Amino acid sequence: MGIETEYGISALGAPDDIDLHPMQLSNHVVKAYGSSAPGRPAGWDYETESPLRDLRGYEVTRGQAHPDQLTDTELGMANLILTNGARLYVDHAHPEYSGPEVTSAIDVVRFDKAGDLVMAIAAQRASQSLGRSVRLYKNNTDGKGASYGTHENYLLSRATPFDRVVTQFTGFLVSRQVISGAGRVGIGQTSQQHGFQLSQRADFFEAEVGLETTLNRPIINTRDEPHADASKHRRLHVITGDANLSEISTYLKVGSASWVLRMIEAGALQADVRVAAPVATMRAISHDVTAQARVTLTGGQTMTAVDLQEVYLHSARAYFETIAAELSEPAQIEAKDVFTRWQDCLDALRRDPFELADQLDWVAKLKLMQSYRDRDSLGWDSPKLALIDLQYADVDSRRSLYAALVGKGKMQTLLSGDEIERARTTPPEDTRAYFRGRVMEKFGGSVVAASWDSVIFDVPDRPALQRIPLLDPLRGTREQVGQMIDSCSDVTELFAALGR
Amino acid sequence: MAESEQSQRKTRRSEDDQEVAEVAPADAAHKAELDSEVDSLLDEIDDVLEVNAEEFVRSFVQKGGQ
């Protein structure tokens, strides 16, 4: 699994008429990181397009394969692969960081936070090179009608009937905002009503199921590019989530979703969880700051969003007990920790959501804003509250209000700054991202292109480019290839070691 | 019977009063402490907030995304 985030972007200090197009600005940001990062990140080809598959046997000279050129695609947009196995590029006029594939919730958090660090460095470098202050925000809306995504990806067995995902997972996504919401000032896509709501994204969903991600956004997205063996896997692309700053919010968001999906995959969820009107319900839950909004199921039964989350939690716990023996010890420990924290959050939400002000983004934001409202008698239409909403998500720790709360001991974290800094340059060890990240670090100059499921090398004295397929997400781990990569001093030796 | 119940209630109430009397100063101190903590947090945040909130928020306009 993994998370990809499009960051909000702006540049200060120039009149509007000579403003850079946001796509160019994003391009500057990505390039600025590429020119400064250790290990020299090289090119990334558009991964899902089939031309990549035809690349085998295609010849280029070494000159054409120089990394400086490879950071640009045909559209002239920067596109980097990082030594931690992530991808950094320009998507839809935003800089986007797609974290590497990982197998645990804590590693999702680790590499998601590493992405924030990447963006903070990129913004600083771009500010220096442009002579203007470039600001990046880990949020999902400008409050004026535009929304940009934070997408989670989960690998599912191809055998899982998709209609079961639709009928059983929708209620989870609709109700989880009480935990995973990042908080937002303004109600409605253009903030046409004043107020606060739990989620950045809820107002931008208009359909129950579909392929779109930019228009008429569906709660369940049907995009099906597994980036793996398509006969075995499906990649579930979850597009409803908010960009979280809180480590606990991200941890619970993906920890709970991955267990609910495993349970759905196994056909182990028996409870009735079909929500009658998912789109309207999703908004209603987001708009209720007491977190007591009620949900009506298709059978007519009603319960709160918190109750519905508890139905999922109880079922997931029961399912876990049936398969615990098959899991590794760390996986068991993490599962239990996720369930305990999930339950604690639901209990606290029933008593008083403000108990979670040092854990969850939306509560932390609301509490801070409430303090301002009390002190300065501000209405929800106050620009100051909208600024707090925005600046909470500034990636630069000097301005980030989230970082200020952490600094004051008012927000709990799960990882140290050193652990996150390490994840900025070092890949996860237990997926194919390890191979991708390590070859970028050691042999980046010989990598012509890469995708999630392949790396293409230019090997001296070989007339054709060499493509290493990585179709199995769990192959290419440190255990399998770590020593080999360590022992090779150049790409020729690597290919000899690979037996190619 | 009624009298003793009343006196019991009275006794309890006076105990309650005493408890309240004992707790109140600590509570007030605690509340003052919390208030000053919030004040210092808000002051600190005031220092890092962008200067012109209205203009800053107005100019944050994004192109759509996914």
Question: What are the tens digits of pLDDT across the range A130-146?
Answer: 999 999 999 999 999 99
Smallest CA–CA separation between A5 and chain B, in Å?
10
How many domains, chain B?
1
Quote the pLDDT of residue A14: 63
Contact list in B for residue A398 (CB cut-off 8 A) is: 48
Q: Is the pLDDT of residue A70 over 80?
A: no
Average predicted confidence (pLDDT) for chain A: 90
Residue B33 sits in which domain range? 24-49
Q: What is the pLDDT of residues A256-310, one digit of tens each?
A: 999 999 999 999 999 999 999 999 999 999 999 999 999 999 999 999 999 999 9
Structure tokens at B23: 């707790």
Q: Is the pLDDT of residue A128 over 60?
A: yes
A47, A158, A452, B3 from A228: Cα distances, Å: 12, 11, 8, 83
Interface contact flag, A146 B42, Cβ < 8 Å: no
* Average pLDDT estimate for A388-395: 98
| pLDDT greater at residue A187 or residue A54 | A187
Quote the pLDDT of residue B14: 44
Q: Chain A residue closest to B60 (CA)?
A: A142
Is B57 among the domain residues? no
Q: Is the pLDDT of residue A62 over 70?
A: no
Is B58 among the domain residues? no
Confidence of residue A52 (pLDDT cuts 50, 70, 90): very low
Contact list in A for residue B57 (CB cut-off 8 A) is: 143, 383, 386-387, 390
Q: Chain B residue closest to A21 (CA)?
A: B63
Smallest CA–CA separation between A100 and chain B, in Å?
19
Interface contact flag, B66 A92, Cβ < 8 Å: yes
Q: Which residues of B touch A (CB under 8 A)?
A: 38-39, 41-42, 44-45, 48-50, 53-54, 56-66
Smallest CA–CA separation between B59 and chain A, in Å?
9
Quote the pLDDT of residue A71: 36
Structure tokens at A256: 């709970």
Contact list in A for residue B48 (CB cut-off 8 A) is: 391, 398-399, 401, 404
Q: Chain B residue closest to A139 (CA)?
A: B62
Other C-beta atoms lying within 10 Å of the C-beta of residue A283: 22
Quote the pLDDT of residue B66: 77
Q: Is the pLDDT of residue A330 over 70?
A: yes
Contact list in A for residue B64 (CB cut-off 8 A) is: 92-93, 145-148, 214
Cβ-based contacts under 8 A for chains A and B: 96
Is B35 among the domain residues? yes
Is B1 among the domain residues? no
Which of A15-19, A42-46, A237-241, A479-483 has the weakest average pLDDT?
A42-46
Q: Is the pLDDT of residue A19 over 90?
A: no
Q: What is the pLDDT of residues A347-364, one digit of tens each?
A: 999 999 999 999 999 999
* Domain assignments of chain A as residue spans, ordered by start: 1-138+405-500, 160-197+244-392
Q: Is the pLDDT of residue A57 over 70?
A: no
Is B39 among the domain residues? yes
Is B17 among the domain residues? no
Q: Chain B residue closest to A94 (CA)?
A: B65
Is B61 among the domain residues? no
Interface contact flag, B50 A92, Cβ < 8 Å: no
Interface contact flag, B56 A368, Cβ < 8 Å: no
CA dist A442 and A486 (Å) reads 9
Quote the pLDDT of residue A319: 98
Q: Is the pLDDT of residue B63 over 70?
A: yes
Smallest CA–CA separation between B56 and chain A, in Å?
7
Query: pTM for this one?
Result: 0.89
Q: Is the ipTM of this complex over 0.90?
A: no
The catalytic site residues of A sit at 91
Quote the pLDDT of residue B3: 43
Is B5 among the domain residues? no
